[in-house]
Structure 1
Amino acid sequence: MSSDADLAIRLRRAAFNHALAQGDLAAIGPLLALNAQLVTGTDSAVLAGRKAQLTAWKREFAARPRTIYLRKPERIVASSAEPIAFEHGTWSGTTAEQVTHGDYTAKWRQVAGEWVIEAELFLTLG
């Protein structure tokens, strides 16, 4: 399962990154579990649930200047006991004026054959 999970999660992450770059809310929704949790990197605000995250992304996409976020997975660790995995990597948020960056981890779960994000935790480093 490990190499299959690794590839599938990396492909789903690439789809998420593409959706972020394009401002495509419709593409983000299916990548998130219904009860997905996100803890932001600077103030540790919690976005609880897919709906809350999509609302936040809608605001982000409308902001000027717009920040383009990118997650770069470095390691995927798949469970041999359950259809779950951790993704560890680095993230960046880029505007014309600045780049913010840090580390993140994401917990994925395979549901009905598709990997979805259950939780993401971000740390702002600079």
Structure 2
Amino acid sequence: MTTSPDLAIRLRRADFNRALAEADLNAIAPLLALHAVLVTGSDSAVISGRKAQLQAWKREFGASERIVYSRTPESIVASTVEPIAMEHGRWQGVAAGSDQPLASGSYSAKWRRVGVDWIIEAEIYLTLA
């Protein structure tokens, strides 16, 4: 049975959120394309490539005042002509061990199906609070 792109991407996003909560770099790596690009929400810094993103997450995980980020998809639109999809949603960062949001906003992510898996090619974040 084939999983719909919507459900498959929501499950992969849940895996990513869990990996962030558990500071699990090994679980993040297979979710990112080799040349994945991330544009941060506040200063629009560009983190280019899986290796650079894993290094950035490693720094985040080691911070003395760690922030745990999560993303909540609101919509996923799959292409009917290419194995790609766009996810739109809300993100937030909370202090580890707390429910107090420190930052939040909206995001978009472009996914590509490679074999049976969906991987992130690009993400862009907007800080709103």
TM over 0.5: yes
Q: Counterpart in 1 of 2:30?
A: 30
Residue of structure 1 equivalent to 2:48: 48
Q: Is the Cα contact below 8 Å between 2:92 and 2:101 reproduced in 1? A: no
| Secondary structure in 1 matching 2:27 | helix
The answer for the alignment partner of 1:100 in structure 2 is: 103
The AA in structure 2 aligned to 1:43 is D
Q: For residue 100 of structure 1, report the CA deviation from its aligned partner.
A: 0.4
State the shift of 1:99 in Å.
Answer: 1.9
Q: Secondary structure at the match of 1:80?
A: coil
Specify the alignment match of 1:59 in structure 2. 59
Structure 1 residue 112 displacement after superposition: 1.6
Q: Secondary structure at the match of 2:17?
A: helix
**Matched residue SS, 2:53:** helix
Structure 1 gap segments, 5+ residues each: none
Aligned-partner Cα distance in 2 for 1:21–1:58: 13
- Supply the AA of the counterpart residue of 1:14: A
Cα root mean square deviation, aligned: 1.1
TM superposition score normalised by structure 1: 0.96
Q: How many residues align?
A: 124
Determine the C-alpha separation between the residues in 1 that align with 2:71 and 2:37.
Answer: 16
* 1:18 counterpart residue number: 18
| Partner Cα separation in structure 1 for residue 58 and residue 20 of structure 2 | 10
